[in-house]
Structure 1
Amino acid sequence: MKVFILPFGKIKILESNIAELIINDTVVIDAEMVYAYRNLLQSHLVAPFSLLINKEHGYSYTFDAQVAMGELNDVIAFRAVVVYSQSAEMATQIVMDINKSNNWNIKIFRERQAALDWLLFNQNNKSAM
């Protein structure tokens, strides 16, 4: 497994088409950070790929970052978000609502393994969808 350390978090390459994103505590994600992790994902994964967003830390997004996340729709097949608190779930729901017109394949989980299992199942069966 490859791990890439970024100034604002880290990305773990779990499979050739699945990565895990963990943002550092108290970071405010802006659009430039979204583009930075998108470029890293695109250069190290086979598209369309899936993303496990592990919200083990508290962080937030600028509005521009929330919009920029919608621009990743062409390369991200599935998103699984692991939340550990009600506030993390609410913040995730806001991002989902802002991007609801993008028709994301996204689901919120309370356990990392359940999220990863969902991604693996969907990523492996996307051709049947």
Structure 2
Amino acid sequence: MPSLLRHACSYNVLANLERVARALGEEKTPEVFVCREALRELPALAPERLAELADILEALSRWLRGRPAKDGVHAHIYGLLGPHDKVREWLVASLYKTLKLWQHHLDGLFGKTRRLPSLI
């Protein structure tokens, strides 16, 4: 239970609560999945997050390269980022690199490979 409370903000909190309740009913020790184990549940519990991460990465990459927004999602992200300047470009490149590392980690968990541009 302490592990669940420390990670209650994760997208799989409802699945964890269900596991805890089931274990209590069966008088067993509950399993709580956080961090790496929780990421393995991502495709089943929140598949839209995988697609959103790919969309965000593509939008950041296009914004950094000065390309026009591809669609409404990209236009929304461009609006949030604001106009180009040196500071924003550095911050967006840093965000892109961080999200790219997460994408590579997730791809590794699910046995996928993906080439993402190196922008830094």
TM-score, with structure 2 as normaliser = 0.26
Name the structure where helix makes up a greater proportion of residues.
2
Name the structure where strand makes up a greater proportion of residues.
1
Q: Which entry has the higher C-alpha Rg, 1 or 2?
A: 2
**Larger RCO (alpha carbons 8 Å, 6+ apart):** 1
